[in-house]
Amino acid sequence: MTVVPFVKAAACGNDFLLIDGMHAPGDLAGFTRRICDRHSGIGADGVEWLFPAADADVRARLLNADGSEAEISGNGTRCVAAWWAAEYGKDKKDKIVVRTGAGLKTCTLLSRRGNEFEFETDMGEPQVGDEFSIQLAFREVRGVPVSVGNPHFVVFVEDFAPGWQAEAAEIGKHHDFKYGMNVELVCLRTKGEIDVRFFERGVGETSSSGTGSCAAAVAAISSRKAASPVVVHAPGGAQTVRWNGTVFLRGPVQLIGRGEFFV
């Protein structure tokens, strides 16, 4: 029997499996779907496949739960940094560099208590477009496109209407978005706080999203609905985004456990 060892981690309810790339099978997408299945697998929003890197502490290749590949996850990158700190950080190094599909990301360790960590990650410079409308089946929706190494469409709403997931799924697969889109619905609390719901490519609704939190905050700040720093509240917990040219994402992460998956 072949076994694949894994570590499970979560950041604000956004959960990932961390697996050494030496165990990567030939059908990486198919294996990722199997192990991420919440009934017949271990269950996760995605797998961070880990490889050596000449220019970083570790390279992470992210596959979503449906087997599709994503450029980056802010929360997933933080999970990778926590794993590296636990496995190799005996010298108490406080800056961990992760190579992602969206480039190098530096995670600064702010605190640690046992298997619980807090990091602030340099997410780079976002690209913000002008707000525009798309036509859905039953109505028109306006949103702000933001790239944080991966694509997002941020829609400001008065409240989270029942069934919002169906509309978010329709937005994410709209023909205007050739490669699909991560969708954020944003309710404004104050100039420094927002409530967000996430619907991610290749996953669906998630309890949180690191890049989605960045995109939502950047869209709110750029449209003068909020001011940096912004606390982003989601069902899985709160993260803080500050933007001063570069976006920084601060939030918690927990290493949940380790095990073996029978192949």
Residue 1 pLDDT: 80
State the DSSP code for 245: S
Q: Are the folds of 3-124+251-262 and 127-245 the same?
A: yes
Q: Give the integer Cα–Cα distance in Å for 24 and 238.
A: 33
Residue 91, pLDDT > 90, answer no
List pLDDT tens digits, range 212-235.
Answer: 999 999 999 999 999 999 999 999
| Helical pair 74-88 and 210-222, crossing angle rounded to 10 deg | 130
Pick the CATH number of 3-124+251-262 from 2.120.10.30, 3.30.300.10, 3.10.310.10, 3.40.50.2300: 3.10.310.10
> Hey, where are the domains in the chain?
3-124+251-262, 127-245
Output DSSP code: residue 166.
Answer: H
Say if CB 54 and CB 61 are below 8 A apart. Answer: no
Q: Are 252 and 221 in contact (CB under 8 A)?
A: no
pLDDT band at 92 (very low <50, low <70, confident <90, very high): low
Please tell me the distance from the alpha carbon of residue 183 to that of residue 140, in angstroms, as a whole number. Answer: 15
What integer pLDDT is reported at residue 93 of this predicted model? Answer: 78
Cα angle 123, 164, 220 (rounded to 5 degrees) comes to 35
The yes/no answer on whether domain 127-245 falls in CATH 3.10.310.10 is yes
Mean pLDDT of 55-72: 97
pTM of the model: 0.95
pLDDT given for residue 90 in this prediction: 67
Of residues 108, 37, 102, 106, the one with CA closest to residue 67: 37
Q: Is 76 helix (H, G, I), strand (E, B) or coil?
A: helix
Look at residues 254, 214, 209, 252 and name the one whose alpha carbon lies nearest to residue 234: 209
